Every structure is written in structure tokens, then in C-alpha cells.
Amino acid sequence: MSQSASTSPSTAPKTPDFDRELASFTSRQMEAIRHLDSGKIKFLLYGGALGGGKSYFLRWYGVRRLMVLFMHFGIKQAVGMLACEDYPSLKDRQLSKISREFPAWMGKMHQDHRDYGRCFILHEKWGGGVLCFRNLDDPSKYASAEFAFILVDELTKNPYDVFTFLRTRLRWKGLTDVECQLIGATNPGSVGHGWDKQLWMDKLYGDERR
């Protein structure tokens, strides 16, 4: 995905190519993005060993998705969730990294926004989309919330009922069901290993998982 400012050729600075120059996605991360950009993938699990760039992929894909929703769907101020199993994990794996990685021109980090709480809000130039940071110690807190997409860091640290609940929070005006994506990134193991493997690796769905 590439974006360029367009005022006059002599004065307008070129915005870096998001995928290659700004986020610097790896070839494996770009493979996942191509699946997600196809419009055919609602659920995706990005797995791998420790240090494989999974948390990085989620936060940068979140910003990218907000830009895509604005540039290709015309949706302003879309709201997405980036979540971890608890706040200490959210702080260590995501929040502590974002202030160093996200450039100031792209948007603003808010510690306690009056409408969205802890979040990153894109500049209006990119649609003003909101990436909300949440923890999943009590998912029922989000029973009345709606999100254009949900990203879960270390999905296997959550039981299956957290996944099924989050699915119900995926809806956004102007998007079809399949375009409201849920993406998990995870290492093998932990409490959710069994259902994650059954769903994504073994592809044993059952009626309740369709």
C-alpha cells in the first residue's frame, strides 16, 4: 500500500511506502496481508516461534487496516481493537513499543481519550481511524462495543469462549461480515492451544464454529 501527498510536484513531500518503507513488513507478513487484502478472509491466525514479529505485525497491520478502510472503503473514524490477555502483557508487548515506532505525523497516542480510552488515533488525512488498546481479563466489558476489526496478541492465552464472544463484537457500517476481520497472533501452547489447533490447523469446525 503506497500513499503520496498531492499538492504540487515541487513542494509536496512523498509519504513513505507503508508496507516496504514504513512498516517494513517481512515477506511472511506480506503473505498474510495478501490473504487479508483478498476480501475472502475473516479469521486469520499468524503463528510462529518466539521472536517471529507477531506482535509487531498486529500493531502495524492495525494502522494499515484503518488506512485501507478509509482509502478503499471511504470509511472515516473506523474503530479497531488490539488486545492482550491482561494489561501487563498489553503494556509490555504493545504500548511500550508504539511510542517509539509510530511516527508523530501518522497520528496521536492517547492515554485516556474521553471516548475511546487508551488508543492511537490516525491523522484526519488518513481518515481519523482509531486503534483501541484493550485487555481481555473480562471480555464482558465490551458487550456493547462494535469494532471494524479485532487483533488479539497471543490468542492461545485465551479460552475458546473469549474468541466466540469477540466474534459477536465484529460489525461496522459500510463493511460486509467477511470484511470485519479477527486476527490472532500466537506461540504454541497455553490454555487455548487445543481449540486454536483444532480450528486453524486441523480445520475441524463443527456447527458452532461456522
How many structural domains comprise the chain? 1
Rounded to an integer, what distance in angstroms lies between the CA atom of residue 157 and that of residue 190?
A: 6
Residue that wins the pLDDT comparison between 210 and 149: 149
pLDDT higher than 80, residue 144: yes
Full domain range(s) for residue 69: 38-202
pLDDT at residue 198, as a whole number: 74
In a domain, 13, yes or no: no
With residues binned 3-state (H G I as helix, E B as strand, rest as coil), the percentages for the chain, rounded to 5, are: 40, 20, 40
Best CA proximity match to 163, nearest among 192, 189, 185, 143: 192
In a domain, 4, yes or no: no
pTM above 0.85, yes or no: yes
In a domain, 171, yes or no: yes
Rounded to an integer, what distance in angstroms lies between the CA atom of residue 152 and that of residue 185?
A: 6
The whole-number average pLDDT for the span 59-78 is: 97
Q: Which residues pair with 83 in a beta bridge?
A: 134, 152
CATH of the domain at 108: 3.40.50.300
pLDDT higher than 70, residue 13: no
Rounded to an integer, what distance in angstroms lies between the CA atom of residue 66 and that of residue 60?
A: 10
The whole-number average pLDDT for the span 37-64 is: 88
In a domain, 60, yes or no: yes
Q: At what angle do helices 54-73 and 27-37 cross, to 10 degrees?
A: 40
The whole-number average pLDDT for the span 36-48 is: 91
In a domain, 196, yes or no: yes
In a domain, 186, yes or no: yes
The whole-number average pLDDT for the span 14-42 is: 91
pLDDT higher than 70, residue 19: yes
In a domain, 194, yes or no: yes
What are the C-alpha distances in Å from 156 to residues 24, 50, 112, 135? Answer: 26, 14, 28, 14
The whole-number average pLDDT for the span 25-50 is: 90
Best CA proximity match to 22, nearest among 53, 77, 50, 63: 63
In a domain, 104, yes or no: yes
